[in-house]
Structure 1
Amino acid sequence: MEKAYRIKKNNDFQKVYKKGKSVANRQFVVYTRKNKDLEHFRLGISVSKKLGNAVQRNRIKRAIRENFKVHKDDIIPIDLIVIARQPSKEMTTLQIQSSLEHVLKIAKVFNKRIK
């Protein structure tokens, strides 16, 4: 994922947490906040140390990033933070992808083309 598509700074994370809206399912929580400055989405990923060692956490983060690469053109310009919950550590990449698509549809971050 390119640098322009990432949220890295704590200040940016805090803005999305405080002023954004959240939706969730059992595996993920997604915070969204309108982004008026950019023409594309930005993504922040949070995976707690409670979910496992670095190998497990990085596997979850890679699966989340891969899902956003697939849907790169279908997401409206918005700031997103994805927080992985406990059940996500036992999931395969395809299960993570379908669960993440489900919660993103609830959050209404897709363009009208995706149903």
Structure 2
Amino acid sequence: MKKEYRVKDNKDFQAIFKKGKSFANRQLVIYYMKKKDQEHFRIGLSVGKKIGNAVVRNRIKRYLRQAFHELENDIEASYDMIIIARQPTKAMDFFEIKKSLTHLLSKERLLKRR
């Protein structure tokens, strides 16, 4: 994922948590905030230490990044998003994580209409 597609600064994370909206399913939580002057979406990923060791956490983040990469053209452009992984994600494969992420994005209407 390109650098301009990432939320990195702590102040950006805090702004999205405070001013944004949230939605969750069993596996993932999404916080999102609309930004009008932005030409593409940005994401931040959070996988806590309770989920597993570094290998497990990095695998989950890699799967989430790949899912966003595949859904890149379908996601509304003017949003900042934070994805937080929950405990069940450590037992999921890539396709299950992508399906869960697609479910979250479609429920909150963050996917473009076809």
TM over 0.5: yes
Secondary structure of residue in 1 paired with 2:7: coil
Identity %: 54
Which residue is equivalent to 2:106? 105
1:46 alignment partner in structure 2:
46
How far does residue 71 in structure 1 lie from its aligned partner after superposition?
1.0
Post-superposition offset of 1:37 = 2.1
Provide the aligned C-alpha RMSD in A: 0.7
Structure 1: gaps of 5 or more residues: none
**Contact 1:32–1:80, Cα closer than 8 Å, also in 2:** yes
Instruction: Give the alignment of 1:2-17 within 5 angstroms.
Output: 2-17=2-17
SS in 2 for 1:71: helix
1:41-68 superposed Cα distances (whole Å, 9 cap, x missing partner): 0000000000000000000001100011
**What is the CA deviation profile of residues 54-98 of structure 1, one whole-angstrom value per residue up to 9, with x for unaligned ones?**
000000001100011011111112000000000111101111111
SS at match of 1:23: strand
Alignment size in residue pairs: 113
CA distance in 1, matches of 2:45, 2:37: 21
Q: Is the 8 A contact 1:30 1:107 kept in 2?
A: no
Q: Provide the TM-score with structure 1 as the length reference.
A: 0.96
Alignment-mate amino acid for residue 110 of structure 1: L
2:20 maps to what in 1?
Answer: 20
